[in-house]
Amino acid sequence: MDLVLWAVTMTVALVVGLFVLLISGVAYSVFTDLVLPPGIQGPGKLRILHGMLITIGTLGNIAQSLGFGTQVTFIRYMRTKFLFAKHKEEAGLITQDMQFDGVPVRVYQPHSASVGKRRGVLFFHGGGWVFGCLDDYDQLCRHIAKETDSVVVSVQYRLAPEHRYPAQLEDCLSATLHFLKTADDHGVDKTRIVVGGDSAGGNLTAAVCLRITAMEESSELPPLRAQVLIYPALQMVDFNLPSYQQNQSVPVLSRTHMIFFYLQYLNGDISLGEDVLLGYHLPAELKTKYSRWLKADLIPSEFKVRGHKPNVVLTHDDDVYDLVKPSLEPTFSPLLASDAAIGRLPPAYILTCEFDVLRDDGLLFKKRLEDNGVPVSWYHVPDGFHGIVSFFDSGYLTFPSGKQALDNTVTFLKDI
């Protein structure tokens, strides 16, 4: 019995020791190797956040190696339980988990009486089409519902790698169409329905708008009132735009991570990453075609002062092109939609962050919308990084600019 107890004790001690070594190694790496650009908000807190993400990823890899499930499953669990822990319910809101045409959603309904029908907001969460769930975005959606006096619907679309494009889009579209058709049941004015999301959710927002505006002429659907794009991912053509080069290693979203997420969403073939990064995935004639809408020259000069080196590629790989061809569809890369399709989109609110690889996607989409007569409200966070809005109220890991950005988004919604 003593021998068994000794063995158990030694095993526990070994596991604890290895865990301490892992955490120590991560801390040393984060605080010595990570170089953050001057001017970014809360560099100390951002290092801690980055270290937490690295630790979760590393533990997930270990768990997978030991046969305790996949790394992705582990990371999803840890994100929900520790990084985006659900806060206690706020007074004044009624929440209900239900399904819209088979898609899980969480509906946030203000408890107080309303003089007329309320505004409706559908929210598509971020997470690279791989991570994210209703609980991760519970606090954010509660805040939007309470502060704007809106009925907010948070959509739990299917995730990669279990499901690939266009499954995520189809879920968001189905939920949106259901809400448009049943708005009265939720006390919502069907002419004041907004769709929005952050990061991958911003991509899905633009894609849903493209699909719905294409349907409007042949259906009795009311038009969407607006689209809210919070640091959206809008193209898989060029990963050498100024923001991708300037912020390629800035947490919480590096350039290599963004390529990884795109490929997981597309087909799961991560081996294509280097070719996509270098620009070998597209023929020269297509690059020329898309350069009308997608090139560094279209980005205001103030966003290039931190440097940019043009990426000149004179060749491409046909096999790689064949594998990534679906990424050129406008519902995958909304920046590539035709002028006619862009011109039919609803008014937009676009939020960008200076220290974000996706900054220029937002800037280029802003220009495309404006060039085609679509009203745009734009808010730029000069010291912000990707994901900052999610940390608007996270205790020690709260970033004031995230709260300011969310307040600006709320102000936009209130005017609808």
Catalytic residues: 199, 356, 386
Q: Tell me how far apart the alpha carbons of residues 55 and 72 are, in angstroms, rounded to a whole number.
A: 13
**Rounded Cα gap, residues 51 and 173, in angstroms:** 36
Q: What is the C-alpha to C-alpha distance for residues 170 and 100, in angstroms, rounded to an integer?
A: 12
Other beta carbons less than 10 A from residue 356's beta carbon: 26
Of 346, 342, 350, give the one whose Cα is nearest residue 293. Answer: 342
C-alpha to C-alpha distances, 345 to 104, 112, 168, 208, 334, nearest whole angstrom: 26, 33, 20, 10, 11
The pair of structure tokens assigned to 171 is 């879920």
Q: Quickly list DSSP for 313-352.
A: -----HHHHHHHGGGGSTTTSGGGS-HHHHHTSPPEEEEE
CA–CA separation, 113 vs 98, rounded Å? 22
Beta-carbon contacts of residue 2 (< 8 Å; ≥ 6 apart): none
Give the CA angle between residues 69, 256, 284 to the nearest 5°.
Answer: 130
Residues in Cβ contact with 128 at an 8 Å cutoff, skipping those fewer than 6 apart: 199, 200, 257, 258, 260, 261, 264, 265
